[in-house]
Structure 1
Amino acid sequence: MPLYDRLRAALDRPTGRALLHGDLDPDETPDATPAAVLVPITYRHVDTVPGPGFILTKRNANMRNHAGQVSFPGGRIDSGETAVEAALREAEEEIALPRDKVKLVGAMDPYVTGTGFHVLPVIGLVEPDLPLVANEAEVDHWFEVPMGHLLDPKHHREEEVLYKGRQRRYWRIDYQDYDIWGATAAMIVNLSRRLNT
C-alpha cells in the first residue's frame, strides 16, 4: 500500500491500543496554549536503508521553551490561523520547508505538554532532496531519522522522573546521538500504535 494511503488509513481507524495525550486530557484543558507541529515524512535513502524518514529539528539552546530538545517543526497557533496553517508556517520559518512542497495527510491525536501547550500534530509527505536550511534563531540544525526505526516499538522506552514535586512518566526514543523524548516521542508512539493496530 502506498505510504500516503497507509498513513491516511491509520489516522481514520479507531485504535485498539491506548493513545497518549499528555499529563492532561486535551478536552479538559481550555487554558492550554494552542499549538501545532508538522510531522514531515520523506522518501530517501537514510543510513543506506531505502524508505521514508522523519525530519526532526534540534532546537536552539537559547529558546524560552523546550530549549535544546529534539522536536518536529512547530509552535503556537496565531490568531485567525488553523492548526494546518500554523504547522506549515512554522516549518517554513524554522527549516525553510516550502508549503507547496508538503502533501498533507491529516492530523494526528492531540497532545498536551507538561509546559501547557495543546499540540495538534499534522502529517505531511515531503519531496526528497529539498534544500532545507535551519533558522539559527530557533533551530540549531535539522536531521532525518528512518521511519522504521522511530516507529518500531522495541525502540520505545517509558521512563519516570520526579518533576515539580510529582512523578511523571514519559517516552524516550534514542537514535545515534539524539535523545528524542517527551511530547515528540509520545506523538511518534501514537503514530506507531495507530499503524500497528
Structure 2
Amino acid sequence: MAPIAGDWAISPDPASESHPGVPAAVLVPLLTRREPTLLLTERTAHLRNHASQVAFPGGRIDPADSGPVAAALREAQEEVGLAPSLVRILGQADPYLTATGYTVTPVIGAIPPDPPLCLNAEEVADVFEVPLAFALDPANHQLREAEWRGRRRRFYVIEWQGRTIWGATAAILVNLSARLG
C-alpha cells in the first residue's frame, strides 16, 4: 500500500515523494469507554523535533522491531508506560508520508479505560483524551494554510478543549475518517 503523502496534511514536499521515507509507526490508542476516546500525548517543550505538539505515541521502527505493530507498542510503552499486554490490535491504517521524511504506519489498538500510565518526562508533558466521534467528524477538521520551508502548505487542524491537533496526527485522523466514512 502506497503511503498517503504530505505532513501539513495535504501539500507534500516534492522531496519527500522521491523516497519512501524513514519507517515509523504510531499507536492510535482507542480507549474502550461507553463513548470511545483516543489517547493523545503532548510532547515536552524542550524536544528538538515537534516540541509541545500533540501526537500519538510513536517513533521510528528500530531494526529490532518485527514491524510497525512492534514499534508502536514499544514506543507507547517507552513514552507513556502503556503495557503492550493491555493493547488489543485492531489493525493498521494507511501509511502516511510526512514532509519531514517519515513514512508513518498508524496502528490502531483498543485499550481498557483508565489504564495505568507512567509518562516519560523527557518526551511527554501530558496525556489527554478526545472523543473518537469528535476527532473523526469532518465538521471538526479545519483546513488552514501556512508557509514552511519557502512553500505554502495546507494542513488540517482539530481543536479540542484548548489543544491543537495538527500535522501528521490530524492528517492520520482525517485519513481515518475518510476511510471509515
Deviation at 1:21, TM superposition (A): 2.7
Q: Aligned runs of 1:18-29 on 2, under 5 Å?
A: 20-22=4-6, 23=12, 28-29=18-19
* Greater Cα shift, 51-60 or 73-82: 73-82
Query: Which residue of structure 2 aligns with residue 135 of structure 1?
Result: 120
* Of 75, 87, 90, the match for 1:102: 87
Query: Which residue of structure 2 aligns with residue 65 of structure 1?
Result: 49
Runs of at least 5 residues in structure 1 that lack an aligned partner in the other structure: 1-18, 45-49
Deviations 1:36-66 (A, max 9, x none): 000000122xxxxx41000000001111211
TM normalised by structure 1 equals: 0.83
Deviation at 1:20, TM superposition (A): 4.7
- Name the Cα RMSD after superposition: 1.7
* Alignment of 1:188 onto 2:173: yes
**What is the count of residue pairs matched by the alignment?**
172
Q: Per the alignment, in what secondary structure is the counterpart of residue 128 of structure 2?
A: strand
Runs of at least 5 residues in structure 2 that lack an aligned partner in the other structure: 7-11
Query: Which residue of structure 2 aligns with residue 15 of structure 1?
Result: none
Deviation at 1:27, TM superposition (A): 7.4
Query: Which residue of structure 2 aligns with residue 52 of structure 1?
Result: 36
Q: Per the alignment, in what secondary structure is the counterpart of residue 184 of structure 1?
A: helix
Instruction: Check the 8 A contact 1:21/1:109 in 2, yes or no.
Output: no
Deviation at 1:29, TM superposition (A): 2.0
Q: Structure 2 CA distance, aligned partners of 1:114 and 1:68?
A: 19
- Output the amino acid matched with 2:113: P
Instruction: Check the 8 A contact 1:105/1:124 in 2, yes or no.
Output: yes
Deviations 1:140-165 (A, max 9, x none): 01111111110111000111111111
- Output the amino acid matched with 2:117: L
After TM superposition, what 4+ stretches of structure 1 lie above 6 angstroms from structure 2?
none
Deviation at 1:90, TM superposition (A): 0.3
Q: Structure 1 CA distance, aligned partners of 2:50 and 2:92?
A: 22
